[in-house]
């Protein structure tokens, strides 16, 4: 949760609409899935 909140900006949303919040959370979730899959892939090299 901490990585998603601070690293990916889950807590940065300041809008007022349900649609805006849903869009923001969807994009943050997609970014988190991408990063998790990158970490788990043995062929991916760590950045230097």
Q: Which residue has the higher pLDDT, 1 or 9?
A: 9
Report residue 34's pLDDT band, with 50, 70 and 90 as the boundaries. very high
Does residue 4 contact residue 11 with C-beta atoms inside 8 Å?
no
Total-model pTM: 0.75
Quote the pLDDT of residue 18: 92
Q: Is the pLDDT of residue 12 over 90?
A: no
Q: Is the pLDDT of residue 23 over 90?
A: yes
pLDDT, average across residues 14-40: 92
Candidate from 11-15, 16-20, 23-27, 42-46 with smallest mean pLDDT: 42-46
How many contiguous H segments (helices) and E segments (strands) does the chain have? 2, 0
């Amino acid at each position: 949760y901490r990585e998603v909140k601070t690293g990916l900006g889950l807590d940065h949303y300041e809008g007022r609409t349900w649609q805006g919040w849903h869009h923001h959370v969807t994009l943050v979730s997609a970014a988190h899935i991408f990063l998790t899959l990158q970490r788990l892939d043995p062929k991916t090299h760590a950045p230097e």
